[in-house]
Amino acid sequence: MPLTRKAYRAAILHSIADPAEVGIEASYEYFEDGLLVVEDGRISALGHASELLAKLPAQVQIEHYPDALITPGFIDTHIHLPQTGMVGAYGEQLLDWLNTYTFPCESQFADQAHADKVADIFIKELLRNGTTTALVFGSVHPQSVNAFFAAAEKLDLRMIAGKVMMDRNAPDYLTDTAKSSYQDSKALIERWHGKGRLHYAVTPRFAPTSTPEQLTLAGQLLTEYPDLYMQTHISENLQEIEWVKALFPERKGYLDVYDHYQLLGERSVFAHGVHLCDDECARLAQTGSAVAFCPTSNLFLGSGLFNLPMAEKHKLNVGLGTDIGAGTSFSLLNTLNEAYKVMQLQGARLSPFKSLYLATLGGARALRLEDKIGTLHPGTDADFVVLDYHATPLLSYRLKQANDIAETLFVLMTLGDDRTVLQTYAAGQPVHQR
């Protein structure tokens, strides 16, 4: 078959390193008039349009976006599929919120038709917001994961998901057993893991809702399939941390529970980590584990402020998470707007280039996928977004005052949302058009 080749001309920006490690100026590449060339789902060239156009065969079609910015597709390292229907649920903190809203909402996923419908809405919402890869919690029902992966496979998306494992401290209608969670997870792994661009994540909800037997079997799955992911929650809420101490008095702390059951590792992502201490950050970094920073959720539930400078000090991999449905937006632009405020409240600054890193390459590194996604380097998957400078009248007016790409980027992250995303591409194919 002949190669399918297409080029995209616009302002182009991507992260190439963590600003905390190399400084801001060395952390990104920007082409004011750039060209991105895509062949068979992968990026084959990136550079200045003036240099690349001369080498491009005449028959290659060029999409030109004179008033837009192309960036890598956004990466959401923590989100719940079954909570799509309860975003913006009023008035509780974490543990009450789970019982009042979350568990009843998740119970509906016993019905395959419901799971299919929500998976479709959920994926469309991700793509509308420019998110091309997400690390997704299903419900306790295998149906939720089957529905999600089936919908993602149709569009050849790079997605990671898992069935929640939860055998205690939840309503009877929503618990599995240690044995059934292991068997259900194993069947899902055999069916989906490594199929197309799909990956499976072993998913104990959090330490309080799993017995030691279930956590042992979660660790066993990771041993049996070494390239699996593991996702769970940690240190989100002070009441939750006290509950973990009461349930696991023999362990040194919350992280030590997961460590004991061998759940830390290079593909392990722990959501929130708002109240981690220095020693826990050091241990996470030492094991290659990552944390998902979820600012809209942490503010909405009153959980606290994530200490990004402490994570940076330990060279801990950090991605960004929307945490739908405690989080209040599918948009990672909107999430970065809140992340900036979380830093401000702690007397720290979040540069727009660090923000771009968190939403793209940082997320890819947290997921150990930086050779495939998170940048626009030739050879990587052609997952990218086109951000429209004229998406709203205010954005259009404000960007006319911007002096450089740093200011433009910051304004996109402060005023931007789903309307800013003109097009989303996955594996070189358009999967969303505004």
DSSP 33-77: EEEEEEETTEEEEEEEHHHHGGGS-TTSEEEEEEEEEEEEPEEEE
Beta strands per DSSP E along 294-364: 317-320
CA distance 244 to 208: 6
C-beta separation of 332 from 387 below 8 A: no
With a cut of 50, say whether residue 101 has pLDDT above it: yes
Hey, what amino acid is at 357? Y
Question: Confidence class of residue 3 from pLDDT cuts 50, 70 and 90?
Answer: low
For the chain, percent of residues with pLDDT exceeding 90: 95
* Model pLDDT, residue 97: 82
For the chain, percent of residues with pLDDT exceeding 70: 99
How confident is the model over 403-415, as pLDDT tens digits? 999 999 999 999 9
Is the alpha carbon torsion for 73, 134, 264, 236 positive or negative?
A: positive
* Model pLDDT, residue 94: 80
How confident is the model over 205-230, as pLDDT tens digits? 999 999 999 999 999 999 999 999 99
Rounded to 10 degrees, the C-alpha dihedral 165/167/172/176 comes to 50
* Model pLDDT, residue 95: 83
Q: How far is CA 297 from CA 190, 339, 341, 351, 364, in A?
A: 33, 11, 13, 21, 21
With a cut of 70, say whether residue 1 has pLDDT above it: no
Domains defined along the chain, listed by start: 5-72+376-433 (2.30.40.10), 74-330 (3.20.20.140)
With a cut of 80, say whether residue 344 has pLDDT above it: yes
